[in-house]
């Protein structure tokens, strides 16, 4: 019976320490969330850069011609 009582004391004390640590952690996070905006002017967020797309290529560009030549060469070798 004494072993069960020691186990129960250990369980309650361990859970109490973890609870206190987590409560302290929540308190520190809330305090830092209140303090940090005061110093936001030191390191402001960067403005998001606008993404630009390259100009679309014409339908009859060199890439299409190269693909057609490669297909024709492959068919000529196969025949």
pLDDT in tens, 15-70: 999 999 999 999 999 999 999 888 888 877 777 778 787 776 665 668 888 889 99
Domain count, the chain: 1
Indicate whether 64 belongs to any domain. no
Indicate whether 14 belongs to any domain. yes
Alpha carbons 28 and 66: distance in angstroms, whole number = 64
Indicate whether 69 belongs to any domain. no
Q: How far is CA 6 from the centre of its chain?
A: 45
Indicate whether 73 belongs to any domain. no
Alpha carbons 72 and 66: distance in angstroms, whole number = 10
pTM here is: 0.50
Indicate whether 71 belongs to any domain. no
Indicate whether 15 belongs to any domain. yes
Phi, psi of 54 (to 5 degrees): -70, 155
């Amino acid at each position: 019976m004494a072993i069960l009582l020691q186990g129960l004391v250990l369980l309650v004390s361990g859970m109490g320490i973890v609870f206190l640590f987590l409560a302290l952690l929540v308190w520190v996070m809330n305090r830092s969330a209140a303090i940090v905006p005061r110093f936001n002017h030191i390191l402001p967020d960067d403005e998001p850069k606008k993404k630009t797309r390259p100009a679309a290529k014409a339908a009859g560009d060199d890439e299409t011609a190269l693909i057609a030549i490669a297909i024709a060469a492959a068919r000529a070798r196969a025949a």
